[in-house]
């Protein structure tokens, strides 16, 4: 009998015992193609020799030194690598241990920034409905995922939510993509005005939405409009790249493709690529300077922040991601997976949309392609699909049509960047077969 308090208390989890490139092996020897990188984590697969070597060397030299006493070499080097790579004056990095911690730190940093610059009335946050920013209470309050939030209402902090950029469901037939993006930015502006601009600290959004919407990219120009609105009212723009950052969309940072510079960017998942738990917040110089010239202290901190071994792993991951041609490879492989999905599933009666960017791809499943009617959430289609895929030796990351009653079930794909051509075929074959299995049960 297990002593572990598992995620699902009645699930029968296979025991993962070994990683081999894009595969995880369980204790029976069964191989699973990891087409979701867990939850968009394992961008380099499960056995990268350079990352393993960096971790081993760091543990031998210095596993950990508390950042209340010391800085350390891998943390300094990682901060340099990230800030050199990030376009715009995002020249400082705050290290934490994961995505939720990164979001918490960013939210508190936004709040304290306004205290530092003498605007104490700015404490409110605006987020979007189709979003997930983490499971700690502050991050959960920011996210719009009703399934995750519902039983914890009322939230400790109140956050307003505006519409996500969800072209497949929300763009009207009589508007262009640009007009749609402008309409959404106008909605954000109206919300800022309703709350009172002098009370709003920040707007937070995922550039490409992951867990709640299945790799949902913005329409062109959307984030430029959003940036303009934020600037007009002195509101900070926090981009949550915990899932879509670190090369996943074909550029190291997803915001690079939007032609804007955010004030704060959160990253995690692909930062440590699963080899170590680590997250970070990249901070605009303007904010850093306000802290430096103000109290000189961010009222925050965690025991494991800047963990030397985690930073050494993430630095080795950065070296791999910055190898010449790596981002071009993500783009090319992303296009190959997209083409294969469209070829095989483009006419599937229950695949409503195939979308994404780079190697961050999603399918939205619908009961009816014409009306785009989602399946009844009670059918738990996403859970059936995950189970069917696992039975066939495929890891994908499906989520349900439980977000706000209008979203179809979807499946997120985020395979390692080392995916081979043969593995693209294996992925699509197994996914198509899993869908067949599921729709044989649920017609």
Of residues 210 and 408, the one with the C-beta less far from ligand PLP:
210
User: CA-CA distance, 140 to 118, in Å (whole number)?
Assistant: 28
Shortest distance (Å) from residue 99 CB to ligand PLP: 2
Return the residue of 34, 116, 206, 258 that touches ligand PLP, per CB under 6 A.
206
Task: For residue 186, give every residue at least 6 positions away whose Cβ sits within 8 Å of its Cβ, in sequence order, or none.
Answer: none
The correct pick among 211, 252, 337, 365 for binding ligand PLP (CB under 6 A) is 211
Looking up tokens 């792993």, which residue turns up?
A: 313
**Minimum distance of ligand PLP from residue 41's CB (angstroms):** 8
Beta bridge partners of 94: 281
**Exposure letters 286-319 (e unless 16+ CB within 10 A, then b):** ebbbbbeeeeeebeeeeebbbbbbbbbbbbbbbe
Rule CB under 6 A: is residue 210 a binding residue for ligand PLP?
yes
Q: Tell me the closest approach of the beta carbon of residue 216 to ligand PLP, in angstroms.
A: 12
Reported as half-sphere exposure (CB side, CA atoms, 13 A), residue 215 has a value of: 28
* 296 DSSP 8-state letter: S
Q: Is 79 in the site for ligand PLP (CB under 6 A)?
A: no
Question: Does residue number 243 form part of the binding site for ligand PLP (CB under 6 A)?
Answer: yes
- Interface region with ligand PLP, contact rule CB under 6 A, candidates 84-92, 98-106, 156-164, 317-325: 98-106
- Kindly state whether residue 423 participates in binding ligand PLP, applying the rule CB under 6 A: no
Query: Does the protein bind ligand PLP through residue 92 (CB under 6 A)?
Result: no
Give yes or no for residue 36 binding ligand PLP (CB under 6 A): no
Please pick, from the candidates 98, 272, 334, 358, the single residue that binds ligand PLP as defined by CB under 6 A.
98
Quick check: 132 binds ligand PLP (CB under 6 A)? Answer: yes
Q: From 105-113, 129-137, 375-383, 403-411, give the range in contact with ligand PLP by CB under 6 A.
A: 129-137
In the complex, minimum distance from the CB of residue 142 to ligand PLP, in angstroms, rounded to a whole number: 9
CA distance 365 to 398: 10
What is the pairing mode between strands 200-205 and 124-128?
parallel
Q: Which of 294, 282, 269 is nearest to 237 (CA)?
A: 282
Distance, in Å, from the CA atom of 91 to the CA atom of 84, rounded to the nearest integer, reads 8
- State how far the Cα of 132 lies from the Cα of 202, in Å rounded to an integer: 16
Name the residue with the smallest CB distance to ligand PLP: 99
**How far apart are CB 36 and ligand PLP at their closest, in Å?**
11
Rounded to the nearest angstrom, the gap between the alpha carbon of residue 49 and the centroid of all alpha carbons in its chain is: 25
- Which residues, listed in sequence order, are joined to residue 353 by a DSSP beta bridge? 364
Contact positions vs ligand PLP (CB under 6 A): 39, 98-100, 103, 132-134, 206, 210-211, 240, 242-243, 268
């Amino acid at each position: 009998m297990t002593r572990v308090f598992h995620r699902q208390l009645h699930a029968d989890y296979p025991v993962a015992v070994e990683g081999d490139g894009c595969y995880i092996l369980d204790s029976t020897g069964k191989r699973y193609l990891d087409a979701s990188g867990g939850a968009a984590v394992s961008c380099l697969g499960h056995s990268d020799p350079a990352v393993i070597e960096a971790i081993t060397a760091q543990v031998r030299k210095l596993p950990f030194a508390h950042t209340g006493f010391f800085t350390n070499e891998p943390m300094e080097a990682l901060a340099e690598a990230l800030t050199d790579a990030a376009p715009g004056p995002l020249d400082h990095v705050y290290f934490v241990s994961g995505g939720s911690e990164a979001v918490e730190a960013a939210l508190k940093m936004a709040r304290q920034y306004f205290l530092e610059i003498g605007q104490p009335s700015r404490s409110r946050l605006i987020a979007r409905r189709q979003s997930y920013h983490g499971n700690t209470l502050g991050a959960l309050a920011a996210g719009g995922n009703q399934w995750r939030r519902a039983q914890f209402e009322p939230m400790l902090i109140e956050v307003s939510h505006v519409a996500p950029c969800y072209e497949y469901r929300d763009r009207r037939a009589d508007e262009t993509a640009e007009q749609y993006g402008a309409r959404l930015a106008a909605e954000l502006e109206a919300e800022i005005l309703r709350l009172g601009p002098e009370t709003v600290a920040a707007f937070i959004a995922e550039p490409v939405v992951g867990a709640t919407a299945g790799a949902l990219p913005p329409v062109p120009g959307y984030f430029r409009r959003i940036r303009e609105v934020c600037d007009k009212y002195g509101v900070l723009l926090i981009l949550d790249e915990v899932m879509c950052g670190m090369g996943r969309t074909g550029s190291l940072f997803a915001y690079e493709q939007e032609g804007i510079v955010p004030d704060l960017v959160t990253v995690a998942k692909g930062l440590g690529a699963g080899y170590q738990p680590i997250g970070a917040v990249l901070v605009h110089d303007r904010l850093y300077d306000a802290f430096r010239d103000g109290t000189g202290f961010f009222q925050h901190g965690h025991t494991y922040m800047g963990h030397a071994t985690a930073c050494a792993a993430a630095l080795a991951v950065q070296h791999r991601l910055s190898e010449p041609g790596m981002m071009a490879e993500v783009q090319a492989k992303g296009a190959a997976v997209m083409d294969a999905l469209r070829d095989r599933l483009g006419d599937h009666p229950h695949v409503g949309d195939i979308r994404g960017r780079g190697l961050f791809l999603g399918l939205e499943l619908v009961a009816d392609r014409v009306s785009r009617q989602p399946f009844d959430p009670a059918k738990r289609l996403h859970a059936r699909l995950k189970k069917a895929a696992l039975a066939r030796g495929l890891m994908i990351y499906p989520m349900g049509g439980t977000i706000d009653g209008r979203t179809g079930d979807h499946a997120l794909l985020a395979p390692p960047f080392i995916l081979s051509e043969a593995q693209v075929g294996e992925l699509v074959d197994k996914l198509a077969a899993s869908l067949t299995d599921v729709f044989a049960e649920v017609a």
